[in-house]
Amino acid sequence: MEAASLWAGVRFTARNGSPEALLTDAAGQGLHLYGISARPGGFCAHCAAWQYRRLAALARHRRVRLRVDKRKGLYFLLRPLLRRKGLWTGLAAWGLILLWLQGLIWAVDYGSLTTGQQARAGAVLRSCGLQPGTVVTEELLRTGEYALLESGEFSWVSLNFEKGRLAVEAAPARARPEIAAGTLHGLRAKCNGTVLRTNLASGTMLVVPGQTVEAGQGLIGTARSERDGTLIFAPAAGTVVAQLERETNQSIPLAEPLPQLSGKNKTNYRLFFAGHSAALPSSVLDGDGLYRTRHLQLEFFDLPLPCAVEEITYYEQKQETLYRTEAQALTLARLQGLRALHDAFPDADILARREECTVQEDTLHYNAVYTVAADICT
């Protein structure tokens, strides 16, 4: 098949007149005829569609009658569509829509971040308005980068957007070395105690084991003197473990009204697209209860779409009275006392405990005095 037939070619039959002279004239005019075969009273041949009109003029001169038997090629397949203006207008409009959709976030790529880091980074980006369906601007990207850095989760962040894909590149923040985390104002005691042991990382240790210290007393200084009297300044960093007493008081009611899940729940949805949001038809959420929010991305045959859905589930709660025995209340009081102790001294090592428990007016009153060894630097 000739290349001309792939785009636009015709097969025709020539009869009557002088077909031989027509072939000679066509060759003289540079018209390319191919697939020529004899027919009674003439011949059958193929030519390019754009040469057929010139051939027809030569045929009239030689009194040859031409008849087109078949048209073939891509042009003749598309010609009916070329006349449909509505079709081409729709295609042009769809092309413009696709170009506009490239400015929306279709998917977010978090790279090598862990699952937990992805969840926290996603929450920060959503608070800045960056989520699937958002129209991205350079200002919005810079705002997202600043918010991720301010979260303290990352030490370096770069947001790059290209053709619907938001790429998040970030380096997790690393804990500062102990010396770098020191203070230039010195470390002082947060409470009274007796020093058990010390550990100096930087600066000057001002106390020794066995020494009794008071709250606010300096423990580690920021300067030390060389043999020649020169003062060298360094951040104060280290630990001073002291023995101290910590008292806690807890009151636990034996009958307490507490909210309990009733088993009923309702779910609402909100659609986010192109910087706008719309609540989908759903039930009204009201009353006291628990709310759980999830952010979902719509997909079509595993292809992410440039829109997001916020799912809010409401779990109904009812007030019910919880009854405790004295043993249960005592256990709870001890747990709360230990929690208060470790909130104040996370590294506390309990050496001894004295406790007193009384019940008055359906309430258990618990008092405990802990003797602990803990770092008292602050």
User: What's the confidence (pLDDT) of residue 267?
Assistant: 85
Supply the pLDDT for residue 29.
86
Asked whether 156 and 142 are in contact (CB, 8 A), the reply is: no
What is the pLDDT at residue 232?
77
Cβ pair 262, 316 in contact under 8 A: yes
- What pLDDT is attached to residue 19? 85
Supply the pLDDT for residue 175.
Answer: 64
Strands (E) in 23-153, as ranges, are 34-39, 42-48, 65-72, 107-109
The pLDDT value given to residue 352: 92
pTM (predicted TM-score): 0.55
Phi, psi of 135 (to 5 degrees): -80, 120
* Residues ≥6 apart with Cβ < 8 Å to 276: none
User: Do the beta carbons of residue 333 and residue 364 sit within 8 Å?
Assistant: yes
The residues pairing with 313 across neighbouring beta strands, listed in sequence order, are 267, 292
Per DSSP, the chain holds a count of helices (H) and strands (E) of 8, 21
- The dihedrals phi and psi of 306, each to the nearest 5 degrees, come to -80, 55
Q: Which SS3 state, helix, strand or coil, does residue 178 take?
A: coil
Q: What is the pLDDT of residue 283?
A: 65
Q: Say how many C-beta atoms besides its own lie within 10 A of residue 166's C-beta.
A: 23
Nearest Cα to Cα of residue 4 among 76, 64, 80: 76
pLDDT of 253 reads 92
Q: Which domains does the chain have, with CATH numbers?
A: 3-78 (3.30.70.340), 107-172 (3.10.20.310), 187-244 (no CATH), 249-255+323-375 (no CATH), 256-319 (no CATH)
Residues 6+ apart with CB under 8 A from 219: 186, 187, 188, 189, 205, 206, 207, 213, 240, 376, 377
Q: Could you give the CA distance from residue 209 to residue 231 in angstroms, rounded to a whole number?
A: 25
The distance from CA 253 to its chain's CA centroid, rounded to whole angstroms, is 45
Between strands 154-162 and 165-172, the pairing is antiparallel
Asked if 13 contacts 42 with a C-beta cutoff of 8 angstroms, the reply is yes
The Cα 65–Cα 41 span in angstroms is 11
Tokens of 164: 């619907």
What pLDDT shows up at residue 339? 93
User: What strands lie across the sheet with 204-205, from one edge to the other?
Assistant: 187-188, 218-221, 204-205
pLDDT by position in tens, the chain (length 378): 566 667 788 889 988 888 888 888 888 888 888 888 888 888 999 888 888 888 888 888 888 889 888 888 888 777 777 777 777 778 778 777 777 777 788 888 888 888 888 888 888 888 888 888 888 888 888 988 888 888 888 888 888 988 788 888 888 887 655 444 455 578 899 999 999 999 988 888 888 999 999 998 988 888 766 666 677 777 888 899 999 999 999 999 999 888 888 888 888 888 887 777 777 776 666 667 788 888 887 777 777 778 888 888 888 888 888 898 989 999 999 999 999 999 999 999 999 999 999 988 889 999 999 999 999 998
* Structure tokens, 72: 């073939």
